[in-house]
Chains A and B, each alone.
Chain A
Amino acid sequence: MTLAEDRTRAGAVDPLTLAVVQGALQEITNEMDAAFKHTAFSPIIAEGNDLASGIYHAETGEVISQGEDSLPLFVAVMQDTAKHVLRSVAGRRNFEPGDVYIVNYPYFGGTHLMDVKMVMPYFAEGDLFALLANTGHWPDIGGAVPGGFAGHATEVYQEGLVLPPIRLYRAGQLDEETLQLILANIRVPRPRIGDMHAQYTSLRLGADRLDGLVRRFGKPALRAAIAEMFNRAEAVMRSHIRDFPDGVYHYRDHMDSDGVDPDPLNIDLTLTVSGSDMTMDFSRSSPACKGPFNSGLSSTVSACHVALKHVFPDVPINAGSFKPVRIVVPDGSFLNAKPPRPVSGATAEVSQRIIDVTFGALAQAAPEKITAGCFSSTINVTVGGDDEQLGEYVLYLYFGGGYGGHSGSDGISNGCSLQSTARMTPMEIYEQRYPYRVRHFRIRENSGGYGRHRGGYGVDMAIELLRGTAVVSLLGDRGKFPPRGLLGGEDGACTRFQVLHKNGQVYTPPFVTKDERYPLQAGDIIHICSAGGAGYGPASERALEDRLADRLAGYYPGREL
């Protein structure tokens, strides 16, 4: 069977087979997600949902299906991971049943180093039929700072252990030497054995399920159905693009800085719609930066696809849906990072802003389909401390913020990062586990850009160190350039980070949203305000009853409503 034969047969796939195969492949990846999540040790995977599972084409590496619980950003990243493994193996050795490769290489098929992928060849009746892969966020991957978010890093080596595709399992057996090499280079290594096992078990489950599907339909029919799924997803995407007026739409937004140089970074997008084709050209964006805000090409491309999927949620996730969209990011751009540029800000920060910038461009073509500017910064706050009772610890905080208002309603408050589905840890759990007291966790008043439909609110949180000393590192954004209003709606409020010292002094980081190892004493308070969403439509058009409700609720103290 060849790809060309699959394509020829694709048109003849009967509708029932097509519907059932698409549903079954979706369910297989859903089950892989669930199995991984329920057995993982890393709380970021188990509780934060920072994982993905998928099935990839054996020859091209293209994504066939991704789990519905998978973190959105991995939509198009993981197929590059699969391609990377295919390429690294090609000409060197053959895949064998029971092989599993481990990889976190950020420049091709990667995100930040903490996202560790495993890729397994799947054999059906003796032939390589597909690749199965998953990824999960490990709490640590070595490097200069615990947790991996080194705000002032200038090389990837400071960010942690880099793993090109290497064989971790051979004939279903874990390679003990490779394992020891990895464990010797990361913090708190033991639970990672459990994570690897969870990852492996989930891949095995996927293989068992695929066996069932192969038995039921046979390989040729299955391959043809997959080829047809690609065709249909492409058709759906094209039909959506066609609904936008042809034209060239330009939008530019700025990130505060890269954490090393004080200058802003530009994300500059020229989006062209021509019939059912779309081109997204980032050529005029900033060049590669010194600090950790470089984004690997896979991550950049994937963020673009996530943005489109937010606008057209009904497009199925497979490589067919990517075909109508051409994404141009030249070498040398900070959105196409090359080794050894540091990248830890890409996944949580740059990718979100790419999504927001894509919205900004699309909104010019069809504002009614888009939300106004979103908060778009996760604000990664990592506090390392030493406590008499707890010993050494790492407290990791991250934040939601306001979504932009849209044609249907106000934006939601404390929404999840746009590229993520990871929820926040409850404040009571933070207090249980760490020597901190949460002084308040409330709506950030006045943060939602006003408008016919106002933006959602950011979060206002203050957390006090109770014992010992600590150092706080910060990797966030949106401190200088606010989420922008749409159709006359007002902008949302910017991110704000401060340390309120016990003696009354207030510290604001020189880079506003980036900092590394700032010292804290007991009684000091970290005060974080996440950005609010922007408004949709002019404030003058806001309905009277909505204004009265806003006033009654006290969302905008000091403002005439």
Chain B
Amino acid sequence: MEIGVDIGGTFTDLVALEPLSGAITMAKVPTTVEDQSGGFIAAVGDAKIALSELAAAVHGTTVAVNALIERKGCAAGLITSQGFRDVLELRRRDRPSAYGLKATFTPLIPRHRRVEVPVCVDATGRVLAEASQDDLAKALAELRQAGTEAIVISLFNGYQNAAKEQELAERLVALGWPADRLTVATAVSQEAREFERSSTAAINTYVQPVMAKYLTHLADGLAAKGFARDLLVAQSNGGAVHWSESARLPVNSVLSGPAAGVIAAARIASEAGFTKALSCDIGGTSCDVSLIDGSMPSMRAQSELEFGLPIWRPMVDVRSIGAGGGSIAWIDRGGILRVGPRSAGATPGPACYGKGGEDATVTDAHLVLGRFAEGMTLGTGGGLGLDRAKAAAAVERRVATPLGLSREAAAEAIISVAEQHVASAMRRISTERGHDPRDFILVLFGGAGAAHACSLIRELSLAACLIPPYPGATSALGCLLCDLRQDFVQTVNLRLDERSMIAAREVWQRQRAEGHRRVTTAGAELDRLEEQFSLSCCYQGQAHSIEVPVGDFSLGQAALESEFTRQYRRRYSTTLSEYPIIVTAVRTTVRGVRPTRRLARPAHVAAPPHGKRAVLQAGTWHQAAVTRRQALAPGVVLSGPLIVEQPDTTIWVEPGFAARMLENGALLIEALR
């Protein structure tokens, strides 16, 4: 048995897989906010799993991201080069939003815990000045005096001389500072840009003690209950690592939840024969959109967690917008209907939860339109029944009356505006990468997603939409399915010639060796290793680089040059042959591919549609057949108007669309020709 366990804001999801049969078991229990391991253990108990028989456990946790957002990390300290202690506070000349100057910003590490030592490294990595033992001892004493709990060493130009930072770290340890409370910036990120690299490293330091404590506690707890394997932890790059690595490098797990969802979406799409997909996870407060090409999630080099907190690490490109089931509909000062980004959250939640929510939300609108059923419960763990009268009253009061609309028209308007946000995000992530959304299918999940399938197909002219078998537990499924993955990026900035190719090969060798070591020692069963090498290149003086994949790193300069030129022309329909080509970074990805698991589809329980329900679409009430998803046999095709219900979501198939049950248990929705 193998499990994936994902901690969400409200629920902890577990997906368990019996590898031989492919049988899947699920559990959903309330998240234990104070100590997430409580929910983990409870979910295991709920699914009646004996920890001693588990062959693998992959965990997606929000401990790191929560500590950051709530500013509950440690008292972190910084040691840096002379002249640069304020980099984290000065950022790069910006403000939180284009309009409005009443901004505020507090750096993760306050100034009195940012200390300079007289080290100077130049842009080529040459050391121009050293820190004496006295300098270091003084810096350390100052940080100790200020109550520092963990230290990050980040030198200006440090990316060009990782050994220097490492040496300082060793000297600090020799001076008695604990090694497990020390982050070396270049061990986290070795890219140029002092603010972004320092920020990434500072975030790591800030959450390190919290994460280390949590993972140690969890691993010990699991071991005490008989778990004999190594716990793996899901990362923002869509891969997993050994828990002890995650305890050391927690910054890599900050955006892991949405990334795992994309891994599951990619798998479900490829099983159904689609290699290009847009994945869209609509939950209670937000909607996460990603693009999958060649069955692999698209990656990005960095992301800004919030204003002034960039993370420069390769990660799955997930765009999050404030459009979920709980998003609040409101009328702006000009009398125009808006939806989100504010959400009613889980408490008080949408008006229909009956927990005192007064605002009209997207969920309330669905209920008014008959897409959600009166009295239905959201998720197996919740148990609350939706109250249609409360939803109707909220829609009436907050939207219909102020706009002079009928209650139904108001509800439809709320849905349309929310869908416009989602469609915009999907269009943007496609066109920015030079794709046309019409070439993609949509993989739609999250508790609040499936009601929007047909309108999103229509809005973006998508080929089709897939609803996974368990749309409410996709992140947990993604944890279960993810490979081990290590991404390395090192800025080099060399003119492309034979000499720089030799330098690049050295970096690749080093990155590969480290990747292999980490992947093969994580304690997971691996089918094979896969490696990808690439160089980032641009013409001298340009801002943006192009990543040029290098199949085999014995590739010579001429071949690389022609490959770069070819890609450049494809993208910009021109080349700049008179400018020299610059290699800006050397990249390696090592994946430890776990054995492919067959996923059995959920058991089918034959049953006729259990009734009809009036559903409003484009101003007309339709009598929609209502069926349980479990009742749909593979190969079955049903046309809209149709409601398909399952414990974690409700699927609305409009007139003019049909739903087909696929072999793998996913539901394919297409427009009728």
Chain A contacts to B: CB under 8 angstroms: 14-16, 18-20, 22-24, 27, 30-31, 34-35, 38-39, 41, 43, 46-47, 68-69, 72, 190-191, 193-194, 197, 205, 232-233, 235-236, 239-240, 306, 309-310, 313-314, 316, 371, 374, 398-400, 403-404, 406-418, 421-424, 426-429, 431-433, 437-443, 459, 462, 549, 552-555
Question: Cβ of A441 and Cβ of B101 under 8 Å apart?
Answer: no
Contact (A554, B100) CB under 8 Å given A31-B428, A442-B83: no
Query: Which one of A239, A437, A462 lies within 8 Å of B122 (CB-CB)?
Result: A437
Task: Select from chain B the residue with minimum beta-carbon distance to A433.
Answer: B541
Question: Cβ of A432 and Cβ of B112 under 8 Å apart?
Answer: no
The interface centre, meaning the residue of A235, A408, A415, A437 with most chain B CB atoms within 10 A of its CB, is A415
With a CB–CB cut-off of 8 A, which chain B residues contact A427?
A: 84, 156, 194
Decide yes or no whether B554 CB sits under 8 A from chain A.
Answer: no
A-B contacts, CB under 8 A, total: 209
Per the bound structure, the CA–CA distance linking A232 and B332 in Å amounts to 10
Contact (A232, B335) CB under 8 Å given A423-B93, A428-B192, A554-B111: yes
With a CB–CB cut-off of 8 A, which chain B residues contact A443?
A: 86, 89-90, 111
The interface centre, meaning the residue of B192, B336, B541 with most chain A CB atoms within 10 A of its CB, is B336
Residue interface mask B81-115, A partner, CB < 8 A = 1: 01111110111111101111111110000111000
Question: Cβ of A313 and Cβ of B576 under 8 Å apart?
Answer: no
Per the bound structure, the CA–CA distance linking A24 and B417 in Å amounts to 10
Question: Cβ of B123 and Cβ of A440 under 8 Å apart?
Answer: no
Per the bound structure, the CA–CA distance linking A400 and B95 in Å amounts to 10
DSSP majority for the B interface? loop
Per the bound structure, the CA–CA distance linking A310 and B125 in Å amounts to 43
Per the bound structure, the CA–CA distance linking A374 and B95 in Å amounts to 13
- Residue contacts A-B, CB under 8 angstroms, 22 given: A16-B416, A23-B424, A31-B427, A31-B428, A194-B576, A232-B336, A236-B334, A239-B333, A314-B333, A406-B101, A408-B102, A412-B105, A413-B105, A414-B89, A422-B93, A426-B195, A427-B84, A428-B192, A437-B122, A440-B84, A552-B110, A552-B112
Question: Cβ of B427 and Cβ of A416 under 8 Å apart?
Answer: no
* Smallest CB separation, A217 vs chain B (Å): 13
Decide yes or no whether B193 CB sits under 8 A from chain A.
Answer: yes
Task: Select from chain A the residue with minimum beta-carbon distance to B196.
Answer: A426
Decide yes or no whether B157 CB sits under 8 A from chain A.
Answer: yes
With a CB–CB cut-off of 8 A, which chain B residues contact A554?
A: 111-112
Interface-side segment among B222-230, B248-256, B405-413, B556-564? B405-413
With a CB–CB cut-off of 8 A, which chain A residues contact B89?
A: 413-414, 443
* Smallest CB separation, A173 vs chain B (Å): 15
Total contacting residues, chain B, CB less than 8 A: 68
* Smallest CB separation, A176 vs chain B (Å): 15
Task: Select from chain B the residue with minimum beta-carbon distance to A460.
Answer: B86
Closest 10 CB pairs of A and B: A440-B83, A400-B93, A232-B334, A553-B111, A431-B123, A424-B93, A43-B543, A47-B543, A409-B104, A313-B100
Question: Cβ of A428 and Cβ of B93 under 8 Å apart?
Answer: no
Task: Select from chain A the residue with minimum beta-carbon distance to B461.
Answer: A212
Per the bound structure, the CA–CA distance linking A403 and B159 in Å amounts to 32
Task: Select from chain A the residue with minimum beta-carbon distance to B307.
Answer: A412
Question: Cβ of A440 and Cβ of B337 under 8 Å apart?
Answer: no
* Smallest CB separation, B319 vs chain A (Å): 12
Query: Which one of A310, A400, A462 lies within 8 Å of B99 (CB-CB)?
Result: A310
Interface residues of B in 421-465 (CB under 8 A from A): 421, 424, 427-428, 431-432
Question: Cβ of A190 and Cβ of B576 under 8 Å apart?
Answer: yes
Per the bound structure, the CA–CA distance linking A310 and B85 in Å amounts to 31
Interface residues of B in 234-251 (CB under 8 A from A): none
Per the bound structure, the CA–CA distance linking A47 and B545 in Å amounts to 12
Question: Cβ of B417 and Cβ of A553 under 8 Å apart?
Answer: no
Task: Select from chain A the residue with minimum beta-carbon distance to B334.
Answer: A232
Decide yes or no whether B21 CB sits under 8 A from chain A.
Answer: no
Interface residues of B in 244-276 (CB under 8 A from A): none
Question: Cβ of B99 and Cβ of A72 under 8 Å apart?
Answer: yes
* Smallest CB separation, A416 vs chain B (Å): 5
With a CB–CB cut-off of 8 A, which chain B residues contact A428?
A: 123, 156-157, 159, 192-194
With a CB–CB cut-off of 8 A, which chain A residues contact B509?
A: none
Question: Cβ of B93 and Cβ of A399 under 8 Å apart?
Answer: yes
Task: Select from chain A the residue with minimum beta-carbon distance to B399.
Answer: A15
Per the bound structure, the CA–CA distance linking A205 and B430 in Å amounts to 13
Question: Cβ of B90 and Cβ of A441 under 8 Å apart?
Answer: yes
* Smallest CB separation, B604 vs chain A (Å): 40
Per the bound structure, the CA–CA distance linking A205 and B544 in Å amounts to 21
* Smallest CB separation, B190 vs chain A (Å): 12
Question: Cβ of A408 and Cβ of B90 under 8 Å apart?
Answer: no
Question: Cβ of A553 and Cβ of B110 under 8 Å apart?
Answer: yes
Task: Select from chain A the residue with minimum beta-carbon distance to B405.
Answer: A15
Per the bound structure, the CA–CA distance linking A30 and B427 in Å amounts to 11
With a CB–CB cut-off of 8 A, which chain A residues contact B91?
A: 414
With a CB–CB cut-off of 8 A, which chain B residues contact A426?
A: 92, 192-196
Per the bound structure, the CA–CA distance linking A333 and B593 in Å amounts to 70
With a CB–CB cut-off of 8 A, which chain B residues contact A552?
A: 110-112
* Smallest CB separation, A499 vs chain B (Å): 18
Question: Cβ of A310 and Cβ of B101 under 8 Å apart?
Answer: yes
Per the bound structure, the CA–CA distance linking A69 and B403 in Å amounts to 30
* Smallest CB separation, A380 vs chain B (Å): 13
With a CB–CB cut-off of 8 A, which chain B residues contact A205?
A: 431
Decide yes or no whether B578 CB sits under 8 A from chain A.
Answer: yes
Contact (A416, B95) CB under 8 Å given A22-B336, A459-B90, A553-B112: yes
With a CB–CB cut-off of 8 A, which chain A residues contact B156?
A: 427-428, 438
The interface centre, meaning the residue of A19, A46, A421 with most chain B CB atoms within 10 A of its CB, is A19
* Smallest CB separation, A88 vs chain B (Å): 30
Per the bound structure, the CA–CA distance linking A43 and B111 in Å amounts to 32
Per the bound structure, the CA–CA distance linking A408 and B103 in Å amounts to 9
With a CB–CB cut-off of 8 A, which chain A residues contact B101?
A: 310, 371, 374, 403-404, 406, 411, 415, 418
Decide yes or no whether B380 CB sits under 8 A from chain A.
Answer: no
* Smallest CB separation, A470 vs chain B (Å): 17
